[in-house]
Structure 1
Amino acid sequence: TKLDAILIATPWEWHKEMIITSLDSGIRYVGTEVMIGITLEDHWEVVRAAERTKGHVMMLENVCYRRDVMAVLNMVRQGLFGELIHLQGGYQHDLREVKFNNGIDAYGKGCEFGDKGWTEARWRTHHSVYRNGDLYPTHGIGPIAHYININRGNRFVSLNSFASKARGLHKYVVDHCGKDHPNANIDFKLGDVVTTTLQCANGETILLQHDTNLPRPYSLGFRVQGTEGIWMDVNKSIYIEKKAAKAHQWDTAKEWLDKYDHPLWARWSKEAEGSGHGGMDFYVVHSFIESVKRNVATAMDVYDAAAWSAITPLSEQSIANGNSTIAFPDFSGGQWMYRKPVFALTDEY
């Protein structure tokens, strides 16, 4: 039986081989969980495979479909924020109980990982031991890329990264299992807070933060700032000059987000009820499946996947080189100058 499409939901280090093998076997549509490779060369190999086979690779970055994120996209496209200048986002999520467990329960209740751990702790924690960089950039950079048309009239030009000291994971093991636990002797390389700055071809700057080893509430830390206004998701606030209720004072974001609810959410919110991550998962899978059914290019393609995911190895390189500025590769081979935005232009998918 010939397969039309495949979904990959496995540990990061398997994604590249699975994507390329799928394409080479004649599967035209590959949907993959986030991160398409570990090394920079992995990313180039995926891009070349997609170009060689003329297949479609869509990284299933669900936060691009979060309701507030899409409402802000609607506002950006309608010019509410003016010309965009600076953007922020990241992955700010306490993962200590994901990175460690007792080998039986999925989350927490122990300090094991790797062969003695269970579910994500079996593979994900390993990266915190040996790597130092922004290990999970796509939740932040995906929505930002759509706001400023990355790979479609704009691109990332350069990047530099800084990592704080690493204390959180060691402290977690000592606090929960004692200083004599074998994992209390591990030297975790991953800085507790990794900060990455990107420069874009059209002049915007982007600040990303990876923050998973310390106690904190969940937040992706979005900030969208332009010549006429600003949105910050941490304080759930928006300020649009000359349209705000009071000068120099925040409006509650909800009134703006409700008014500019994206047509996709207005149409499909009932269908999305009960799906994962507040409905986002419905939209990203719906988009992928509709592309397959219609035999058209996916709304997020291999060049997007490569640009967003490659931030990880590039950030590792920058940190290892004394926080040096690294030139960002153009995976599109110059096509970014001529391509037009296609993501979420209608209420269809």
Structure 2
Amino acid sequence: MAPANRYAPSRRNLLKSGIVLGAATGAAGTAGSPADADSTAWEPSRGPHERSMVDVPFEGFEKVRVGLIGLGNRGGGQDVRFGAVATVVAVCDIRPERVSRTIDRIMRQGFQDVEPVGYSAGEEDFLNLVRRDDLDLIYVATPWEWHYPQAKAAMEHGKHVAVELPISPHLDEIWDLVRTSERTRKHCLLLENVNYFRPELQMFNMVKAGLFGDVQHASGGYVHDLRWPYLFGGAYFPEPWRRRWQTRMNALHYPMHGLGPVSASMGINRGDRFDELVAVASPPKALALFREEDPRVGEEHSSWQDKPYISGDRHTCFVTTASGRFIRVEHDVNSPHPYTRETTLTGTRGSVELDNARIYLESLGHNDHTWRTGAAYAGILKQYDHWLWPLLERLADQYGGHGGGDFVSIFRLVQLMRLGMTPDIDVYDSAAWCSVIPLSHESMKSERLRPVKVPDFTRGHWKEARPTFDRPQPVDPLLKGS
């Protein structure tokens, strides 16, 4: 049974319960889940209408029709990227001015003749969008507490759904999204843009080429000083939503940007899987200190209404895998620190550190205990470029988004849908990566180090090799010369 406290208005709890989703087929729910909320390794048996989504392709679409939910800090930049590669049919935000702005931006691109329909009549108007019968994909870029009900509603109404990070911060909701996907036969996936960044794809190709030998361990995460303007400076809307998660869970709230790429390179859910994790955290001091000392945070600032901050400033989590390897996951958005995703990977033949831009591989003749950096580093990675980047480099430069990686990720998702292929990142990858959030919280409930088991969201299918980013460039009639 879902825990009673969801840190959100009762209206949202109503949405999450499925009562107002309007699905005639019934909710997958979490019936049969253990009464003990600490039973993190609980893996529900599949219901009579639930079947694995492993290797299930998209249907294939002549054109992909998209609905956008959330047009703020993140969604407000992704709109034109979706508009460049798909048909944006409908857009939704609780702010009417954001809806109007997005419609104008999409129409000024000149790629579609019919204006998107706008939805801005309150917090539940997204339900009217997902009920439309002229949509194939829903994109969700709202505050985290809304990801689960909006993704579930999309699938219940026959749409695939791509969700910004995370799909949910709660384990029971993650499981429900997996089961809803299996029942509705609609894909629910994390739109993890960093998996499509150029160096991360180059690292992936180098692993596949055997340059690292047997991969032994890796690290990845998210270390980014968000105090200003994000947590306190109003860059998000509503202003306090992300900051207040620090009053609700002591957890690695947002580890997926570094975790996703190294998980893909290590073949997680494709021959190996997360097995167990243990997390630690430093004391929560930085946010209260910032609020007290920074002159930009005045006496009337909403942060003075926050409950005490309980999430540590720095979190480190070790995830072990079924084959005996491990990933060190880092998270810190509170402390003064230059941005890093802490992305490293080590095998029996050498190591790479993407954030430090250095590599050392015995398989390439490196035997002098000296990192290859600068032009030497870039030259090595360039030899293992993923086909997506030379193909899309000009468009990635034009549409941007984290160096073009945002555009590449959206292009690729729409391409997979058009061509009737399986997703690169599926619901099981999304569930495993996001499960680090609630499981790290669970691990740190005790004063002593407490490992917790990671559920097998694939329910056995992780043992099967299957393709992901290693698939060759497909024949695409919309791309000249492909």
TM value normalised by structure 1: 0.91
* Pairing 1:1-349 to 2, within 5 Å after superposition: 1-27=133-159, 29-97=160-228, 98-101=230-233, 106=235, 119=237, 121-177=239-295, 181=299, 183=303, 187-241=308-362, 243-244=364-365, 247-252=368-373, 253-274=377-398, 275-321=400-446, 322-348=448-474
Larger RCO: 1 or 2 (CA < 8 Å, sep 6+):
1
Once residues 161 and 355 of structure 2 are traced to their aligned partners in structure 1, the CA distance between those partners, rounded to angstroms, is: 34
Matched residues in 1 for 2:372 and 2:214: separation?
A: 20
- 2:212/2:363 contact within 8 Å kept: no
**TM-score for both structures, normalised by structure 2:** 0.66
> Which of the pair is proportionally richer in helix?
1
Q: Retained in 2: the 8 A contact 1:81–1:229?
A: yes
CA displacement 1:240-288 (0-9 Å, x = unmatched): 1263555111011222112222222122111211321111111111121
Count residues with an aligned counterpart: 334
Residue 114 of structure 1: aligned partner: none
Q: 1 CA distance for matches of 2:211 and 2:232?
A: 44
CA contact (8 A) 2:225 2:333 kept: yes
Change (3 A) 1:317 1:92: same
Q: CA, structure 1 residues 215+3, in 2 after alignment: closer, same or farther (shift >3 Å)?
A: same
Letter in 2 for 1:164: S
User: Structure 1 pair 199/122, CA: closer, same or farther in 2 (3 Å)?
Assistant: same
Change (3 A) 1:294 1:173: same
AA aligned to 2:156 is D
Q: Structure 1 pair 277/180, CA: closer, same or farther in 2 (3 Å)? A: closer
SS at match of 1:161: strand
Give the conservation status (yes or no) of the 8 Å contact 1:88–1:207: yes
Tell me the SS of whatever aligns to 2:276.
Answer: strand
Superposition RMSD on alpha carbons, in Å?
2.0
Output the CA distance in 1 between the equivalents of 2:252 and 2:365.
35
Which amino acid in the other structure matches residue 21 of structure 1? A
Contact 1:58 1:288 in 2 (8 A): no
**Alpha-carbon separation, structure 2, partners of 1:176 and 1:34:** 29
Deviation of 1:211 after TM superposition, in Å, equals 1.1
Query: For 1:242 and 1:70, how far apart are their aligned partners in 2?
Result: 19
Structure 1: runs of 5+ lacking an equivalent: 107-117
Q: What is the Cα deviation at residue 179 of structure 1?
A: 10
Distance of aligned partners of 1:178 and 1:294 in 2 relative to their CA distance in 1, 3 Å threshold: closer
Give the secondary-structure state (helix, strand or coil) at the position aligned to 1:273.
helix
**CA contact 1:57–1:301 (8 Å) conserved in 2:** yes
- Quickly say closer, same or farther: Cα 1:178–1:270, change in 2 above 3 A: closer
SS of residue paired to 1:320:
coil
